[in-house]
Amino acid sequence: MENPGIEEFFSEDIGLSSELCCIYPHGTTAVLGGTADDDVWDQRPDPLQGRHIVNRCAAILPALAEARVISQMVGLRPTRASVRVEEDVAASGSRLVHNYGHGGAGVTLSWGCADAVINLIDSGQR
């Protein structure tokens, strides 16, 4: 949505609730989220769910209540018990580095996981 002047990221630890509340400013826009529903794979945006997300975020930062929604998207974020960052080497010598399972925490884990991937790649170069 349009960013009404937000400069700091906000993310609330909601425990076991499926209703997330996060606000990520990106210059003139802001990304709001979200939901974490098990076994829901529909990629079509739900306008009612979008309104609930805006309302939750506006309860934290009231300026969002009047901001214009630019678009609505659905992101599928597979989650595992622990993130997988490891390398598989085939008999042919081909290498595959896995980096997945971050769930909704990808933005918070991305730098550390990227460093781990680079270390795996660098350590396997001949």
**Is the pLDDT confidence value at 126 over 70?**
no
Residue pLDDT, tens place only, 66-119: 999 999 999 887 777 889 999 998 899 899 999 988 877 777 788 899 999 999
Domain residue ranges in the chain: 10-66, 79-124
The residue assigned the tokens 């909704």 is 104
Task: Go through the chain and tell me how many residues it has.
Answer: 126
Cite the DSSP H helix spans in the chain.
47-60, 106-124
Q: State the pLDDT at residue 125.
A: 67
Distance between CA atoms of residues 60 and 112, nearest Å: 28
Distance between CA atoms of residues 47 and 4, nearest Å: 21
Going by C-alpha positions, the residue among 63, 65, 32, 64 that lies closest to residue 49 is 32
Q: State the pLDDT at residue 109.
A: 82
Q: State the pLDDT at residue 77.
A: 75
Residue pLDDT, tens place only, 24-40: 999 999 999 888 888 88
Q: List strands edge to edge, sheet with 29-35.
A: 10-11, 19-26, 29-35
Whether pTM > 0.85 for this model: the answer is no
Q: Which two tokens stand for residue 27?
A: 């210059």
